[in-house]
Structure 1
Amino acid sequence: MDLLKKLEQCEARFKEVSELVQSPDLVKDQKKYKDTMREHGYLSGVCELYDEYKKVLSGIEDAKILITEEDDVDMKEMAREELHQLEERLPQLEEEIKLKLIPPDPLDEKNIILEIRSAAGGDEASLFVRDLWEMYCHLAERKGWKTETMEAQETEVGGFNKIVTNISGKFVYGTLRWESGVHRVQRVPQTESQGRLQTSTATVAVLPEADEVDIQINPNDVRVDVMRAGGPGGQCVNTTDSAVRLTHIPTGLVVIQQDQKSQIKNKEKAWQVLRARLFDLEQSKKDAERSAARKSMVGNGDRSEKIRTYNYPQDRVTDHRINYSAHNLPSFMMGNMDDMINALNVYAKEEQLKADITEMGAQ
């Protein structure tokens, strides 16, 4: 990859986009406006690094000339020190630029629908679902994101068989996109009198929230049923037909929403979840097509893939995709998981960069 050539192209494009954002006509097309502003922000960051890169290269050249031509001993020594600092900075800067040159995924800015379900482990698995949900809620609170529970299937022991939450804010999907998969916990359950260690699992799905412009659904493809809401054990908890079930006939996807007393609100939320699931299905197909030529080592977010283990006796959480471990598990479960999230995102970008370079070499 010719780094300077690529940076020059970005700088030229930044000038073009900077002129585009000044146009009063741009706001008339909201999608084009959002896309243009996103590109402008991305290119602005690239150009900042490019400016520093040019200064470092120029500084190295000037320092070498000074060392060669300057007679003053003190000046030579200062030039050597500066050269040493700049030559140390150069490879670091080049790595930062290479990662920055990977364009951000437009999905990264989207809000998400977070689905957590119990898998293996019975009551203990349902308690683990609650722990994971609270962990993500703590993270959201720290980042200033808004959370809204859309569906919750509570268990008698105080856990959840399933909980669905909408999380909205800045860069939510870009932060949590690699959380999808099977999460495993190893600990002694509260109900275990013998003190035996148990392994339980829960699945996490991070779905980018889809607008109507993102996914077109033919209303004729969706069967809408209304019914009375049911609670744990199947008993009726509502005397009106407020629960809504949407069935997407072409895919067989079914969404049931009954948390709200209003049928209208339940229907709105059900459509919101259905759009997200269909959008996720569409994106998964595209990812599968791309993965024939390129597959990230971070994984594909498949919810059948075991990604992380929370080991309570050893006070350790390990992400198996990047072999990254963190200690102080209680702090991690309080949402202090930024280091792991950042490590996952950096690793994903590095793998994408390697794949891009390989593809460029093959062309």
Structure 2
Amino acid sequence: MSGTGLRIGRLEELASEFGLVERALGDPAMLADAREYARLTRRHRELTPVVTLYREYQAAQRDLAGARELLQDPDMRELAAGEVDSLVARLGELEAELEVLLLPTDPDDAKDVILEIRAGAGGAEAALFAVDLLRMYTRYAEGTGLKVNVLDASESDLGGASKVVAEVTGDMAFRAFKWERGVHRVQRVPATESQGRIHTSTVTVAVLPEAEQGEVQLDLSEVRIDVFRSQGAGGQGVNTTDSAVRAVYRAGTPDEITVVCQDGRSQIKNREKALVVLASRLAERERAAREARERSERASQVGTGERSEKIRTYNYPQNRVTDHRLEGEHKNFALDTVMEGGLVPVVAHLARDERERQLMALGTGDEAASGERGVYGTA
């Protein structure tokens, strides 16, 4: 075992689980259960990086043992010494990489996403920037193999939108988008500004992991379903049938939630999607309430949390995007690149920053307790 505290026992458990998953996926009978097959496929994808790296680590350990034996041979000692130094260095690198992979991460990472973009302060300019963000996210999704489908949009003057609700689907959609939650601030000269003054506007972005079947118990007796004709551009026939659906949860109460879906011509499909969005919002509400209670009990956080804080500023005059969760030279990015969908470097820095904080917590906190949580937060 390594002297660095690498959790070999946990790695052995994951390698064993990986073997079981591979055998299950190779069973033709598994194809009959689509849901279980999808779960096993996702788990196989999650385990592959850490098991592959662990196998490389084991191979390097065997090579190191062989090189150390050669140190006893006078004719091979010099060559073996160089090999030992090289393998010791490589094992150190592998241990560090494995520790990162063993860190628990968000169990929602693999889920699809409900993306909500709302214009905040700034009126028409905020609505225009909401559309700019939607375009940025669409290009980012396309570049990462994901797909964005707009479910509902409240169009405003000048081509803006006061609200956009979209679904993001694909491999690890939530992991790709979860960093976007919060308030986005834009500083630029609006097209309607005659004196060239810079205005500051805001747009809020919510990223909800799509609720899975059975995750939220939605009582349909508390949901009112309205149907109406779709509004806005949608091609021939979009306004000729009552295909759009409005789902209202606990109408007239403080708990009321309203969801509109009008992306397709099928009322049935729009109803199904509206209920999925509603369930996702309810799940997010429950998570937020739970996190608020935990913060209160721990008294470890100040303010209202990331979801309501300014996370990023888009400064057009200086062609700069600043992510306020990062520090130093890593917090600034070229605005023109980001707005074309180039969010990958931003997300990479945010993910790296989170991993570093987790590693620091492992080093100063209760490492034994942390070790009980599995890779990707699951067993």
TM-score, normalised relative to structure 2: 0.80
Q: Which moved more, 1:286-295 or 1:154-163?
A: 286-295
Aligned positions of 1:273-352 closer than 5 A: 273-288=277-292, 302-323=306-327, 324-352=330-358
Pair 1:310–1:89, CA change in 2 (3 A): farther
- The one-letter amino acid of 1:359's match is D
Pair 1:15–1:31, CA change in 2 (3 A): same
SS of 2:308 mapped into structure 1: coil
For 1:53 and 1:206, locate their aligned partners in 2 and report how far apart those are by CA, in whole Å: 37
- The one-letter amino acid of 2:308's match is S
Pair 1:63–1:292, CA change in 2 (3 A): farther
Which of 268, 271, 274 aligns to 2:272? It is 268
Q: Does the 8 A contact of 2:6 with 2:99 survive in 1?
A: no
Q: Does the 8 A contact of 2:245 with 2:262 survive in 1?
A: yes
- The one-letter amino acid of 1:45's match is P
SS of 1:321 mapped into structure 2: coil
Q: 1:209-239: per-residue Cα shift (whole Å, max 9, x none)?
A: 22433322111111223456667xxxxx958
Pair 1:301–1:141, CA change in 2 (3 A): farther
Pair 1:284–1:356, CA change in 2 (3 A): farther
Which of 356, 359, 362 aligns to 2:366? It is 359
Q: Work out the percentage of aligned pairs sharing the same amino acid.
A: 43
For 1:292 and 1:353, locate their aligned partners in 2 and report how far apart those are by CA, in whole Å: 24
**How far did residue 280 of structure 1 move?**
2.1
**How far did residue 314 of structure 1 move?**
2.4
Pair 1:316–1:192, CA change in 2 (3 A): same
SS of 2:153 mapped into structure 1: strand
Alignment gaps of 5+ in structure 2: 233-237, 371-379
TM-score, normalised relative to structure 1: 0.83
1:194 maps to which residue?
A: 195
- The one-letter amino acid of 1:97's match is L
For 1:8 and 1:181, locate their aligned partners in 2 and report how far apart those are by CA, in whole Å: 39
**How far did residue 88 of structure 1 move?**
2.8
Aligned positions of 1:127-138 closer than 5 A: 127-138=128-139
For 1:13 and 1:261, locate their aligned partners in 2 and report how far apart those are by CA, in whole Å: 44
1:234 maps to which residue?
A: none
1:107 maps to which residue?
A: 108
For 1:247 and 1:16, locate their aligned partners in 2 and report how far apart those are by CA, in whole Å: 44
Pair 1:152–1:294, CA change in 2 (3 A): same
Aligned positions of 1:225-244 closer than 5 A: 225-227=226-228, 243-244=244-245
Q: 1:180-211: per-residue Cα shift (whole Å, max 9, x none)?
A: 11111122222222222222110111112224
**How far did residue 30 of structure 1 move?**
4.3
Pair 1:346–1:187, CA change in 2 (3 A): same
The count of corresponding residues between Structure 1 and Structure 2 is 355
SS of 2:61 mapped into structure 1: helix
When the two chains are superposed, the root-mean-square deviation of aligned CA atoms in Å is: 3.4
Pair 1:320–1:168, CA change in 2 (3 A): same
1:220 maps to which residue?
A: 221
